[in-house]
Amino acid sequence: MRIGQRSIWIGAGMLGAALSLWVALGPLLRGTSDPDRFRSPVGEVEATPQRPGSVEAGFAALVNQPYVSCGMPYAAYRRVAPETSPDLLLPGRAGRNAELPYFLTAHVNADGVEIVSNNCLVCHAARLGDEIVIGLGDAFADFTDDPRQLVTQTGRFVQSQSDGAAWAHWADRIEGIAPYIQTRTLGMNPATNLSWALMAHRDPRTMAWSQIPLMDPPPRDPVPVRTPPWWWMGKKNAMFYTTIGRGDHSRYMLFASLLCADSVAELEEIDQFAPDIRAYLASLEAPAFPYPIDAGLAEQGQALFTRHCAACHGTYGEAPRYPNRVIGLDEIGTDPLYARSMTDGSLDRFFDWVERSPHGGTVRAAPAEGYIAPPLDGIWAVAPYFHNGAVPSLAAVLDSRLRPQFWRHVTPRAYDPAVLGWRFEVLETGKAAAASATERAAIYDTTLPGYGRDGHTYGDDLTDDDRAALLEYLKSL
């Protein structure tokens, strides 16, 4: 587990013996009522009122509050990582957090032990040029390693009894979820599987943790998903690619705290500042394209965009409008595995868990069998593209002939402003021919289930000149 890079530090534990809980609660938690309540139609997503919050307080809470309340003892962490690289520091953080990487938060637990835990930026921030951009999913995030390696590594440096208790609590959580959160490819995010794994270990009424899962955990191989940018949140009426997150968005975000929140009271405490965090996310603006834009060509592209793209992706400028439209699988044609896995009934036990949780009634897990056509603010920055990151450049989104079957990002990282994407190399073979696990993780293999590159071929009918103009306009959003 590499401390200097952003790796997944989210927990689990040594499985014990709570089989009686499984026997008593398992059938109850599976749910037997009408599964149609867990489905939404494709088409326009209706808006849901959201609780107001303070943008300023939301930023402070996001980067300083311990909404993930367990972690590694600070003393042990500093033995593993004695220094913090300056390029990992985020301006505006307070106290000890000002000295930590942007994706870690320090606090003192109930036993008086200073600990370090993940925060939301482990998935939702990335470097862009010389800046850490909050809300940008990292195209190079590495969730392919087993997080238990870090647990073992820090455990060697635990000295006091109180530090040992804090470490064991964190290690227990990591052990429970580790088998379900390792991705095959760099840049993919296991957050969906993480949520299901945590729900499998928790009583939805009390939040009590069970070392033995109370219902069947999720599949061990996470369906590939890229992290979408947060600055789209202010426009979207439901969360995530399949719009599964319906209702109170700030309460839906609380599921990120399930790793360590062992009581309803702890969730309620976090809920006090959750609307502030959502208000901050809704206030985020996309980063501006940092290279020159041909204004005349972009104007031509705007006319093409209005004619061919705006019905799904909305309009921009002085009077923007976003339609919040889910496109069905038959129409969009992109890899269907993620949407189908959400709507085929195989995950209904987790949707039922949401309904039985303390926030049931204010949140709903109700995906549609398709994908939301996203807003395109800052679309230049969010490569690779599609929900599964199958397409390395925006130019290839507009021309399916440019989409490679096997590819990987080049080292060192470099952005290509001509095609709007990180520079990559086309490969002759996929993961099966790779010589090592590290090489396999770097290869994007579009022949694997869930990693398909097909679909969204609307740009194929345009001329090369029209595609160039449209690409120039997209730089300006």
pLDDT in tens, 363-409: 999 999 999 999 999 999 999 999 999 999 999 999 999 999 999 99
Q: How far apart are CA 295 and CA 288, in angstroms?
A: 15
Separation of alpha carbons 408 and 392, rounded Å: 9
Asked which of 28-32, 173-177, 212-216 is least confident by mean pLDDT, the reply is 28-32
In this predicted model, what pLDDT tens digit does every residue of 88-102 receive, in sequence order?
999 999 999 999 999
Q: Which of 19-28, 169-178, 365-374 has the lowest mean pLDDT?
A: 19-28
Please check the confidence at residue 5 and state whether its pLDDT lies above 60. no
Q: How many CB atoms lie within 10 A of CB 411?
A: 10
For the chain, give the mean pLDDT. 92
CB environment 333-369: b (16+ within 10 A), e (fewer) = bbbbbbbbbbbeeebbbbbbbbbebbbbeebbbbbbb
Q: Per residue in 231-287, pLDDT tens?
A: 999 999 999 999 999 999 999 988 888 999 999 999 999 999 999 999 999 999 999
Question: Which position has the token pair 């890229």?
Answer: 226
Burial class (CB in 10 A: 0-12, 13-18, 19+), 322: buried
The pLDDT assigned to 33 comes to 53
How far apart, in whole angstroms, are the C-alpha atoms of residue 462 and residue 404? 20
Confidence bin at 3 (pLDDT 50/70/90)? very low
Q: Please say if the pLDDT value at position 23 is more than 60.
A: no
pLDDT on residue 294: 98
For residue 182, pLDDT over 50 is answered with: yes
Which pLDDT tens digit goes with each residue over 420-460?
999 999 999 999 999 999 999 999 999 999 999 999 999 99
Q: Name the residue with higher pLDDT: 33 or 221.
A: 221
pLDDT at 184 over 70: yes
Whether the upstream peptide bond of residue 323 has omega within 30° of 0, thus cis, is no
Is the model's pLDDT at 4 over the cut of 80?
no
pLDDT in tens, 304-360: 999 999 999 999 998 899 999 999 999 999 999 999 999 999 999 999 999 999 989
Which pLDDT score, from 0 to 100, does residue 17 have? Answer: 31
Question: How far is 37 from 34, CA to CA, in rounded Å?
Answer: 6
Q: Tell which phi-psi region holds residue 418, choosing left (phi > 0), alpha (psi between -120 and 50) or beta.
A: alpha
Stretch 47-54: mean pLDDT, rounded?
Answer: 96
pLDDT at 63 over 80: yes
At 254 the pLDDT is 84
Measured CA to CA, the distance from residue 123 to residue 103 in angstroms comes to: 8
The pLDDT value recorded for residue 8 is 35
Residue of 113, 114, 181, 115 lying closest to 146 (CA atoms): 181
Vertex 168 angle, CA 164 and 174, to 5°? 145
Identify whether the C-beta of residue 229 lies closer than 8 Å to the C-beta of residue 137.
yes
| Confidence at residue 26, expressed as pLDDT on a 0 to 100 scale | 37
- Residue 342 backbone class (left: φ over 0; alpha: ψ -120 to 50; beta: rest): alpha
Contact partners, residue 33, CB within 8 Å, separation at least 6 = 352
pLDDT of residue 272: 96
Give the Cα separation of 234 and 283 in Å (integer). Answer: 7
